Amino acid sequence: MSNPRPRPQVLTLTDAAVARLKTMMAANAQAAGLKIGIKKGGCAGMEYTLQWAESAGKFDEVVERDGARVIIDPQAVLYLLGTEMDYKVDKLAAQFVFNNPNQASSCGCGESVNLTPAPKDKLEALKV
């Protein structure tokens, strides 16, 4: 019996995101990971949500790298497929940044985005 092909990750983490997540997780030992979701809101139509999760749900996607763990809400997978999560520090802010190929536009302040669903062929690649 052959091994099934590996599933592509919904989201990838940069070195900076991994380092920041590991620091945050060490300070919050109760958390199973940082849960990412999408909700309607903001002037561009959608917003990313980040909150600590005590466990991963049955249908959540889990992305782990070097001890950093991100849990993705199943309803967000359609909008996050192919996204790179980074952590940026500049003079005015330090924050997680999402380089999302499904992002059609964003508002001027950068707090909300307009997302389109990932193409069907990319979604099919997630099925095992």
Q: Output the pLDDT for position 51.
A: 95
| Within-domain flag for 3 | no
CA pair distance 119, 81, nearest whole angstrom: 9
Q: Are residues 104 and 46 in contact, defined by beta-carbon separation less than 8 angstroms?
A: no
| Within-domain flag for 46 | yes
Q: Is residue 106 pLDDT above 70, yes or no?
A: no
Q: CA dihedral defined by 88, 27, 113, 85, rounded to 10 degrees?
A: 50
| Within-domain flag for 43 | yes
Q: Is residue 117 pLDDT above 70, yes or no?
A: no
Which ranges constitute the DSSP H helices of 35-75?
A: none
Q: Are residues 100 and 113 in contact, defined by beta-carbon separation less than 8 angstroms?
A: yes
| Within-domain flag for 1 | no
| Within-domain flag for 85 | yes
| Within-domain flag for 107 | yes
- The 10s digit of each residue's pLDDT in 26-74 is 999 899 999 999 988 776 678 889 999 999 999 999 999 999 999 999 9
CATH number of the domain at 42, please: 2.60.300.12
Count the neighbouring beta carbons within 10 Å of the beta carbon of residue 80.
25
Total count of domains within the chain: 1
pTM for the model stands at 0.79
* DSSP per-residue codes, 22-76: HHHHHH-TT-SEEEEEEEE-STTSEEEEEEEESS--TT-EEEEETTEEEEE-GGG
| Within-domain flag for 6 | no
Q: Which structural domain, as residue segments, surrounds residue 101?
A: 11-119
Q: What is the mean pLDDT of residues 2-11?
A: 69
